[in-house]
């Protein structure tokens, strides 16, 4: 029995030596790689690669050695790129390899050919999957220094488009060409729309509906500056759809007005009005809710009903609180707009005069007065610090945000801002928004004393916001 056990042990030992000794020698590549990393000489690294040619870190190390020596031996440059290419292909699922390769490719960008640039983009896409914000800013530093090609960033961020927002902020922070910022923010806003389209509003929770609608409200339409395409139809359809389901879950005046402003369907407006009446939404008598009802009647073009209700209400306004007076004015302006459309200018003028007694500086009331006077052939001479009119505006920009309402001359295609900017704002960005949409951006030090801003569309009233940040 002992003899057989001894024989089995001998056989097992022989099999172990035959099977595992070559393997032990083969898997010694990592020890050789560590040795090569310490010595950093070509011979040792080549020995490590000969043990395991599939280990990407060894090829990365050999590439760095060739790049360092290529200053004295230019012929090694192509060898370095070849080893770098091998490392990327072998380490396609290794984040560290991809990051290191990407950094190297970017630092050598001006010397790369078309195929090598494609490999750099591939490395970038792989690296982005294992992103750390600090590392991404390092890549942006190299990109803005050596590459300066926006298509590169656009391609590597295809799988993580939410990072375009960081690119836009990085461009502003480092005073890089603004067209990069506009393109990045356009791609980011497209991402917000497309991401919202992946969800079903009919099964969203209340909090998710609110968050989705607020996200869409943050879009500033940078496509108008970038020249890139923006999915406007999808945006409008999503906004209307999300607002509708939000009203169904929680009918607040704000949500109802959001839907009414976004909807172009009279049938939907009427359906909503009937739904709210059935639910008793208007039973609670507040000016906000009353204005909401009248606005829905206005949007549904039920002008006769709107006139009847507003004129009936105006005879009893004693209960209207001071803080609700703005909504009262907005409600009566609906009647002014109807009279204006029907060419009943004297009736519209009478209401405007009454509203000016309540608030002589209200810009929307002044706008209606201007329209009516122009139709009647009268001069508009009223002034307001919050209401500016004419093709040119003089602004002393001395705070972070300046807001005003603006009514240009009829047929005016651009607005001219004559500005004196506080010297403390040098190095910052000036952005002009019109009706919530971006219309102009420029670094403060690049501004002329006067700069022109094209007026979007053919509106006769704009809310203008100038921001320096």
pLDDT, tens digit, 9 for 90 and up, residues 98-123 = 778 888 888 888 888 888 888 888 87
Question: How many Å apart are CA 211 and CA 372, to the nearest integer?
Answer: 41
- Percent of residues, the chain, with pLDDT higher than 70: 78
> Could you read off the pLDDT of 133-187 as tens digits, one per residue?
677 888 899 899 998 999 999 999 988 899 999 999 999 999 999 999 999 999 9
Of 220 and 15, which is predicted with more confidence?
220
CA distances from 343 to 171, 367, 458 (A): 51, 16, 21
pLDDT digits (tens, 9 = 90+) for 190-233: 999 999 999 899 889 999 999 999 999 999 999 999 999 999 99
CA–CA separation, 342 and 306 (whole Å): 14
pLDDT at residue 20, rounded to an integer: 43
Residue 459 has pLDDT above 70, yes or no: no
| Band of pLDDT at residue 18, cut at 50, 70 and 90 | very low
**CB pairs under 8 A, 24+ apart, for 55-58?**
55/29, 55/30, 55/90, 56/86, 56/87, 56/88, 56/90, 56/91, 56/94, 56/97, 57/33, 57/87, 57/91, 57/97, 58/29, 58/33
pLDDT tens digit sequence for 343-352? 998 999 999 9
Please check the confidence at residue 255 and state whether its pLDDT lies above 80. Answer: yes
Instruction: Write the CATH number of the domain with boundaries 251-376.
Output: 1.25.40.10
Average pLDDT, the chain: 80
- What's the CATH number of domain 28-176, 1.25.40.10, 3.30.70.2190, 1.20.1260.10, 2.40.50.140? 1.25.40.10
> Are 28-176 and 251-376 the same fold in CATH?
yes
Rounded CA-CA distance 42/117 in Å is: 26
214 is written with which tokens?
Answer: 């607020």
Measured in whole angstroms, how far is the alpha carbon of residue 370 from the centre of its chain? 36
Residue 318, classed as helix, strand or coil, is coil
| Residue 416 pLDDT > 80 | no
Q: How confident is the model at residue 466 (pLDDT cuts 50, 70, 90)?
A: confident
Whether 391 has a pLDDT exceeding 60, the answer reads no
**Residues 54, 56, 57, 59, CA torsion sign:** positive
The whole-angstrom separation of Cα 191 and Cα 159 is 11
Q: What DSSP assignment string belongs to 136-181? A: HHHHHHHIIIII--HHHHHHHTTT-GGGHHHHHHHHHHTT--HHHH
- Provide the angle, in degrees to the nearest 10, between the axes of the packed helices 178-196 and 232-249: 50
198, burial (CB in 10 Å: exposed 0-12, middle 13-18, buried 19+): exposed
Q: Please, are residues 286 and 324 in contact by the beta-carbon 8 Å criterion? A: yes
| Parallel/antiparallel/unpaired status of strands 429-434 and 450-454 | unpaired
Separation CA 116–CA 114 (nearest Å): 5
- Positive or negative torsion for Cα 403, 375, 352, 285: negative
Confidence of residue 450 (pLDDT cuts 50, 70, 90): confident
pLDDT band at residue 241 under the 50/70/90 scheme: very high
DSSP conformation letters of 42-80: HHHHHHHHHH-TT-HHHHHHHHHHHHHHTTT-TTHHHHH
Residue 129 pairs with which residues in a beta bridge?
none
Proportion of the chain above pLDDT 90, given as a percent:
33
Residue 15 has pLDDT above 70, yes or no: no
- Total Cβ atoms within 10 A of residue 271: 13
The pLDDT tens digits of the residues spanning 420-435 come to 666 666 678 888 888 8
The residue among 453 and 259 whose pLDDT is bigger is 259
pLDDT value, residue 103: 83
Query: Domain residues of the chain, as ranges?
Result: 28-176, 251-376, 387-468
Q: How far is CA 405 from CA 84, 89, 369, 372, 388, in A?
A: 58, 58, 15, 18, 6
Helix (H) or strand (E) holding 257: helix 253-262
What tokens appear for 91 in the block? 């380490």
DSSP state of 384: B
Q: What are 299-335's pLDDT values in tens digits?
A: 999 999 998 888 887 766 666 677 778 888 899 999 9
The tally of CA atoms less than 13 A away on the side-chain side of residue 112 is 22
Band of residue 403 on the pLDDT scale cut at 50, 70, 90: low
Cα 23 to Cα 5: distance, rounded to the nearest angstrom = 27
Do the strands 414-421 and 392-397 form a parallel or antiparallel pair, or are they unpaired?
parallel
* 396 three-state secondary structure: strand
Greatest extent of the chain over all pairs of C-alpha atoms, in Å: 125
Distance CA 329, CA 138 (A): 54
Question: What does the DSSP assignment read for 415-456?
Answer: EEEEEEE-GGGTTSEEEEEETTEEEEEEEGGG--SEEEEEPP
- pLDDT at residue 119 in the model: 81
Decide: pTM greater than 0.75: yes
**Dihedrals phi, psi of 416, to nearest 5 degrees:** -110, 125
């Amino acid at each position: 029995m002992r003899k057989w056990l001894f024989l089995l042990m001998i056989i097992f030992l022989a099999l172990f030596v035959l099977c595992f000794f070559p393997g032990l020698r083969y898997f010694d590549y990592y020890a050789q790689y560590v040795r090569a990393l310490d010595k950093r000489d070509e011979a040792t690294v080549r020995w490590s690669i000969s043990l395991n040619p599939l280990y990407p870190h060894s090829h990365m190390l050999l590439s760095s050695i060739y790049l360092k020596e290529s200053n004295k031996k230019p012929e090694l440059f192509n060898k370095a790129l070849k080893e770098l290419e091998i490392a990327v292909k072998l380490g396609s699922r290794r984040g560290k390899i991809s990051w290191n390769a990407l950094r190297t490719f970017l630092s050598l960008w001006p010397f790369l050919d078309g195929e090598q640039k494609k490999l750099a983009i591939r490395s970038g896409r792989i690296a982005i999957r294992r992103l750390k914000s600090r590392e991404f800013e390092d890549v942006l530093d190299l990109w803005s220094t050596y590459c300066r090609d926006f298509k590169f960033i656009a391609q590597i961020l295809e799988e993580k488009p939410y990072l375009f927002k960081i690119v836009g902020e990085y461009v502003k922070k480092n005073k890089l060409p603004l067209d990069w910022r506009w393109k990045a923010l356009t791609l980011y806003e497209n991402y917000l729309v497309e991401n919202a389209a992946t969800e079903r509003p009919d099964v969203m929770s209340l909090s998710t509906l609110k968050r989705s609608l607020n996200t869409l409200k943050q879009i500033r339409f940078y496509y108008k500056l970038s020249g890139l395409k923006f999915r406007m139809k999808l945006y409008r359809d999503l906004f209307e759809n999300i607002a509708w389901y939000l009203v169904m879950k929680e009918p607040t005046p704000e949500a109802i007005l959001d839907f009414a402003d976004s909807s172009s369907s009279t049938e939907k407006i009427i359906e909503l009005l009937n739904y709210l009446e059935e639910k008793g939404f208007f039973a609670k008598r507040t000016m906000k809710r009353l204005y909401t009802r009248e606005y829905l009647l206005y949007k549904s073009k039920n002008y006769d009903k709107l006139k009847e209700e507003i004129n009936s209400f105006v005879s009893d306004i004693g209960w209207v609180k001071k803080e609700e007076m703005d909504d009262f004015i907005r409600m009566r302006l609906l009647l002014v707009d109807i009279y204006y459309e029907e060419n009943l200018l004297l009736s519209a003028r009478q209401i405007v005069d009454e509203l000016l007694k309540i608030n002589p500086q209200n810009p929307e009331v002044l706008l209606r007065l201007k329209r009516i006077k122009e139709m009647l052939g009268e001069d508009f001479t009223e002034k307001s610090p919050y209401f500016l009119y004419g093709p040119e505006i003089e602004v002393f920009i001395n705070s972070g945000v300046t807001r005003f309402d603006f009514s240009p001359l009829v047929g005016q295609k651009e607005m001219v801002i004559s500005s004196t900017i506080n010297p403390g704002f040098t190095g910052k960005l000036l952005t002009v928004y019109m009706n919530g949409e971006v219309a102009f951006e420029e670094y403060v030090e690049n501004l002329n004393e006067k700069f022109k801003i094209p007026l979007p569309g053919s509106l006769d009233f704009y809310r203008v916001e100038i921001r320096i940040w």
